[in-house]
Amino acid sequence: MIAATLLAFLVRFEDPQWISDNLRLVGFYLLLSVPLRLAIFFAVGMYRRLWRHASVGELKPILFAAVGGGAACVLIGLVVLPVFNITATRVPFSVVFIDTLLSGALVALPRLMARIRRHGFTRRRRDDMGKRVLIAGAGDAGKLVVKELFATRQLGLEPIGFVDSDATKHGHTLAGLPVFGPLAHIPEIVERLGVAEIIIAMPSAPGTVIRQVVRAALACGIPTRTVPSLPEIISRQGNATGLREVEIQDLLRRDPVETDLAAVAELATSETVLITGAGGSIGAELCRQLARLAPNRLILLGHGENSIFDIFQELSLSFPDIDITPVIADVRDRQRIAHIFQLYRPHAVFHAAAHKHVPLMEDNVLEAVTNNVAGTRNVVDAAVEANVQHFVLISTDKAVRPTSVMGATKRIAEQLVQHAASKHHRNFVSVRFGNVLGSRGSVVPTFLRQIRAGGPVTVTHPEMRRYFMTIPEAVQLVLQAGALGRGGEVFVLDMGEQIRVVDIATDLIRLSGLEVGADIEIKFTGVRPGEKLYEEMFFTAENVLPTDHPKVLRARNGLLAEGTIRRIDALSKTTDAGRPEDEVRKLLQTLVPDFHPHGATMHEDEGRAVDSSRRA
C-alpha cells in the first residue's frame, strides 16, 4: 500500500524531491489512507481466500476492494486533509487515481501469481506424461474435464486437445489446449498424435453424436469415457467432471426433457400420492421423482415385499421429511384396495402395477387378465369412491393393434380409465410408451448377462424394431402428461425413431470390448408368440392432437363402444370361473377388435415393407 502511494506521487510529479518537500502532506495521507484501505480489504474478504485456487471470479473482490479504497483516498486526500487544515494543500486527484490503480494491481498480482504457479505445477513435464487423451467437446464441460485432469495427476491422463462439431471453435485454444477440428477427424488425430483414450465431454449432446464418437474410437481400437448426461447431473446421480464408462443409454441419448415443474407440482406438492407397482422399475422411479416434489405423504403399494422394502429404505434415507408409507397389497384384492384408498384418500394415483412380459402372458392368459384388467378396474373404482382428483395409468405401445394377450389387456385397461373419466368427470388419463432401457426383464440386462456368460446373444429377428427411452425420461414425461390431462385422454410419449434390437445387441458387445462374430455370436431365435416386428403408438381411428409439451401427444378415442363395460364384466366372470384360455382370447377380441392373437407373422411382410420404404 505504502509503495503504491509513493509510486503514484513519483509518477505524477516525476521528482523524488517533491515528496521530500511535501512530506507533511504525503505522511498524513499515508497515515490515514493505508489503515482505512486495509480495513476495506479485510471487510471484502481479501485475507480469507485460498488464492492458489482462485479463478476469474475471484477478481471481483479485488476490484471492489480497489474501488472502495480509491473512494476512501479521494475522501481523505481531497476533503479531509484540506478541510480540517491538516495540510496546507490537498492531494492532487491524479495522484489518488494513480494510487488506486497501482494499489489494486500490486494487491492482485501476487495473488494471481499464486494461482498461476499452482496451475503450472499441476501440468506434468513433457517427459512424465500419462496416457494421451483427446476431449470430444470444446465447451464448459470439456474445460472442467481438462482442469480436473491437470489437477489430479494420479489419474495418469494427459489431455492434448479437443475436437468439436462447431466450426467456429476450430483452430482456437481452450484451457491452453488446441481445438483440432470436427468429430469426423478423430481417426486421423488419434493416429497422428498417439491418442490412447477419448473422453466425451458433451452432457447435452444427442445420442447420434455420442454414437459417432464411440464408433470412431472403437474403429481406432481405443476406449471411451464420458461425463454424466444432463439428466444425471440434474438428478444428482453424477457430477459434471465424474468420468464413467459409456453406456447404452448414452448411445440413445436424446434432447433433455423440459418439464413444466409448476404444473407437475400441483399433482403432488403437499398432497398424498399413491403409486401402485411402486417396487418395479417405472414405479420406483415415479416414487423418486414425486418425492422431489415434496408431497405430504407417499404411499408405496406393491405385491412384492422385497422390492417395496428396497424403495422404502431408499426414499426414507433420501427424503426424511416426507411421510413414506409402504403398503403390501395385491391389486386383484378388491376389498383390500378399496380399504387402502378409503384409509389414505390420495389426491393423485399412478397405476404402474401390471404384468408386462409378452411371452409369459401368452402362456398365462388368466393371470394377465386378472392382474391387468381386473386389477386396474379395482384401482380405478377405488379411486372414484375415494374422490381421487388425478389418476394416471401406465400403458404401453403394445396396446395398439395388439398381437399379444398383454397388449390386449392393457388396451382394455385404457378403456376402463376412459370410462371412469367420462362417467364421473374425473381427471383420469392413460400414458402410452414403449420399452425402457434398464427395466427388469428388458433386453439390455438380458444381453449383458449373455455377454458376461460368453454368448451367444439371442435376438428374435434381424428386423425386430422397438421404441426405447430411459426410465427417468419416461417418468418425467408421465408426470408431465398427468399434469396436462383433463380426463379420458390417452397421452403418447414421443419415443423418437424405432431402433433395431440387433443394433442394441451389437453396440453392447462392442462397448464390452468385444467383437461380434470373433468373440460373441448373435443368434436369431425367431419371432415369439405375441410379438410384432415393429410397434405402433396410435390406432388408425384415434384423433391425435399436440399438447403444450413438444414430447407429449394427446389421442382421443371418441366414445366407448356400447356394451364395453358389460363385456368386461363377462371377461372377468370367465377368468374367475377358470374357463379355457381360448375362450378368454375370444372375449378379448370382442373388446379389442384389432387384437390378432399370435399375429407376429401376420405383420412380418408389412414390417419388411415399412423397413424397405424407410431405407428408400
399-439 residue pLDDT tens? 888 889 999 999 999 999 999 998 999 899 999 887 777 67
Residue 315 covered by a domain: yes
Q: Around Cβ 379, how many Cβ atoms within 10 Å? A: 29
Residue 124 pLDDT exceeds 60: no
357 in the same domain as 474: yes
Query: Around Cβ 243, how many Cβ atoms within 10 Å?
Result: 18
SS3 531: coil
Closest CA to 138 of 185, 76, 78, 93: 185
Q: Are 198 and 315 within one domain?
A: no
| Residue where a domain stops, chosen among 251, 286, 310 | 251
Q: pLDDT for 557-604, tens place per residue? A: 666 777 788 888 888 888 888 888 888 888 898 888 888 876 444 444
Q: How confident is the model at residue 611 (pLDDT cuts 50, 70, 90)?
A: very low
Residues 478 and 581 in one domain: yes
Q: Does 238 lie in the same domain as 294? A: no
Same domain as 284, residue 215: no
Q: Where is pLDDT greater, at 114 or 109?
A: 109
Per-residue pLDDT, 90: 81
Query: Which cell numbers hold the place of 12?
Result: 505524477
Highest-scoring range by mean pLDDT, 154-158, 196-200, 495-499: 196-200
Q: Is residue 596 part of a domain?
A: yes
The verdict on pTM exceeding 0.85 is no
Three-state secondary structure call for residue 529:
coil
How many other β-carbons are positioned within 10 Å of the β-carbon of residue 94? 12
Q: Are residues 118 and 130 in the same domain?
A: no
Q: Domain ends where: 122, 148, 176? A: 122
Q: Residue 471: its pLDDT value, please?
A: 82
Strand ranges inside 403-453, DSSP E = 427-432, 435-437
From the CB of residue 382, how many other CB atoms can be counted at a distance below 10 Å? 23
Any idea what DSSP says for residue 89?
Answer: S
pLDDT at 614 over 60: no
Question: Are residues 14 and 159 part of one domain?
Answer: no
Task: For residue 302, give the 3-state DSSP assignment.
Answer: strand
261 assigned to some structural domain: no
The CATH number that applies at residue 156 is 3.40.50.720
Catalytic residues: 398
Establish if 258 belongs to a structural domain.
no
Q: How far apart are CA 411 and CA 398, in angstroms?
A: 8
- Contact between 149 and 157 under an 8 Å Cβ cutoff? The reply is yes
Q: How many domains does the chain fold into?
A: 3
Residue numbers of the domain that contains 150: 126-251
Most confident region among 171-180, 376-385, 469-478, 596-605 by mean pLDDT: 376-385
Contact assessment for residue 391 and residue 426, using Cβ atoms and an 8 Å cutoff:
yes
Across 299-303, 550-554, 556-560, least confident range: 556-560
- In this structure, the answer to whether residues 116 and 212 fall within a common structural domain is no
363 and 419 co-located in one domain? yes
- The secondary structure element, H or E, covering residue 327 is strand 323-328
Q: pLDDT tens, 205-217?
A: 877 888 889 889 8
Whether residues 9 and 114 fall in one domain = yes
Supply the mean pLDDT for the chain.
Answer: 81
In degrees and rounded to multiples of 5, residue 555 shows phi and psi of: -115, 125
Residue with cell 484451457: 175
